Amino acid sequence: MMREDSHSKSIEVSNLSMTFRSDDGTSVNALAPTNLEIEPGQFVAIVGPSGCGKSTLLNILAGFLKPSEGQASIGNEAVAGPSIDHGVVFQDYALFPWLTVLENVAFGLKSQGLGWSERNEIAMHFLDVVSLRDFADKRPRELSGGMKQRVAIARTFATKPSVILMDEPFGALDALTRRFLQQQLLKIWSESRKTVLFITHSVQEAVFLADRIIIMTARPGRIKSDFLIDMDHPRDFSSDAFRRIEKVVFDSLDEELAKTFGLAANQLQAD
Amino acid sequence: MHFLRHSLPYALALLAIGTVWQIAVWVSQANVAILPPPLLTLATLWELIANGDLAKHTLASLSRVVSAWGISVLVAVPLALAMARSRTVERLLDPVIELFRPISPLAWIPLAILWFGIGETGKVFIIFVATFFPILLNTVSGVKGVDPVLIRAGRVLGCNNEATLFWRVILPAAMPTIIVGLRIAFGTGWAAIIAAELVAAQSGLGYLIADGMEILRSDLVLAGMIAIGVLGVLIDSIFRFIGNQYDWGPA
């Protein structure tokens, strides 16, 4: 396979639904028929309560799961399986522990048929972007959680995929590390402006990063609301505009949380 | 310094064994043909080293174990991969393996002699049986234990087919467990070859021991036993060293 500097691609989801059947005959409806269109180059965050099917949606787009019904396409091509053109950043990093940091970042470049020196050069550049050049020869176990996720982000961006799917990538990190990684993600993203689908629990994170926020309902997952965020980067957490958007998103989400926990929405806000 | 720190416990253990042994000799006043003192045994061991007999017998035993172990690796590793990656293959083979596994490799010695005589083939067969299961079972558990998220990561990073995925992700990820299996297998093979050679052989460390018994030279028997123990520890430490190269810890 040859490496090409692919352009960002669109994501289209039509009537996509997913029902998991277990061996004992019970079935769980994880994703109700869903439609979604994402333009090339858009940074979209999906926010929703646990079990709203947002990871299911991502796993279908990544080609890890086959949907029960409907279709997922990337760049007008139906998703047939995992592909190096559809990058994935996992919550638990998924670094290869037997490889060095540099070799991890170069892993996909080898699949793309690049020679040794070219691979190293590109991998070093991306390590530079996430400020980990000095750790190139370390093994993943010598790195902190935040550093591991920066390596994983560099590894995904290095292959220049046309869409990048991120499954709660900062979910396991502490608040300070999280803020730093959000900034680094925007930095590496602004270099290439790939289409990004970013799943998160954090409203603040979604408002800080995304051009567009989609809220999903509790099981079975369905798209509840869809907001465009028209704010320049870098965004200031404490600005009025930021707070206003955050409030709108929270209000929409609270209705869902209330359903999940069987409360009235106003009770939730009182807490 | 590193070497010293690791060999010191062994030196102390040897000293303790020698002391207890010498005391046993004094207390029991046993005939030298039944229980020779440690120093005499060491002299015999030195003689065996000097006249080349020990090297000859060690080489005979080692080459049998190495070749049978090698055949085991070639058969068990691919079989284990098939079992770990396919439910059908596993369901088919698992009962067969579970039925054969409890049978000690030593129980195969009579059949091996009937089938292959007392030549090399029979011994290689017994060691094959002894080394096969540890390699197979460890490889199966190693491959099954590969974190599924690493397999997903491999797929989205361009491992498009099962073969590429195997070489670039599954094999290296399973390597630490596979090496443990190779090490345990060599140990069981080393134990089994001595038994096989006790019964039917013209050479090998087992033969050396059996021969010592027949000519009432327990110093030869004990010298052979010491050689078996020391070589076992040395071989095991080589495997441990190799295993440590693959000990990369959690990701």
Q: Which residue shows structure tokens 């989205």?
A: B156
β-bridge pairing A195-200 and A43-47: parallel
Whether the bond into A234 is cis, omega within 30 of 0:
yes
ipTM: 0.89
pLDDT tens digits, residue range A59-70?
999 999 999 999
Min Cα distance B164 → chain A (Å) is: 9
CB contact under 8 Å between B153 and A90, yes or no, is yes
A158 touches chain B (CB under 8 A): no
A138 touches chain B (CB under 8 A): no
CB contact under 8 Å between B172 and A141, yes or no, is no
pLDDT of res. B143: 94
What is the torsional sign of CA A130, A133, A137, A141? negative
Ramachandran quadrant class, B216 (left: phi over 0; alpha: psi -120 to 50; beta: rest): left
Helix %, strand %, coil % of chain B (to 5) = 85, 0, 15
Point out the least confidently predicted range of A1-5, A74-78, A90-94.
Answer: A1-5
Min Cα distance B166 → chain A (Å) is: 13
Calculate what percentage of chain A has a pLDDT beyond 70: 94
pLDDT of res. A263: 65
Question: Which two tokens mark B52?
Answer: 């080349």
Calculate what percentage of chain A has a pLDDT beyond 90: 65
Half-sphere exposure of B38 (CA within 13 A, CB side): 13
List the 40-99 stretch of A: residues with Cβ below 8 A of B.
62-64, 81-84, 86-88, 90, 92-98
pLDDT of res. A270: 47
pLDDT tens digits, residue range A8-54?
899 999 999 999 888 888 888 888 888 999 999 999 999 988 777 88
Q: Quote the CA–CA distance of A127 and A144 in Å, as a whole number.
A: 15
Q: Which of A1, A84, A95, A197 to mutate to test the interface with B (most CBs of B within 10 A)?
A: A84
Min Cα distance A254 → chain B (Å) is: 32
Q: Which residue shows structure tokens 């030549």?
A: B119
Indicate the length of chain A as a whole number. 271
pLDDT of res. A271: 45
Min Cα distance B176 → chain A (Å) is: 10
A141 touches chain B (CB under 8 A): yes
pLDDT above 50 (res A269): yes
Q: What is the mean pLDDT of each run of 10 residues along chain B (251 residues)?
A: 77 91 91 89 93 94 94 94 90 92 90 88 93 94 94 95 92 92 94 87 91 91 92 91 79 52
Question: Which chain B residues are closer than 8 Å to A139 by Cβ?
Answer: 248-249
pLDDT of res. A6: 60
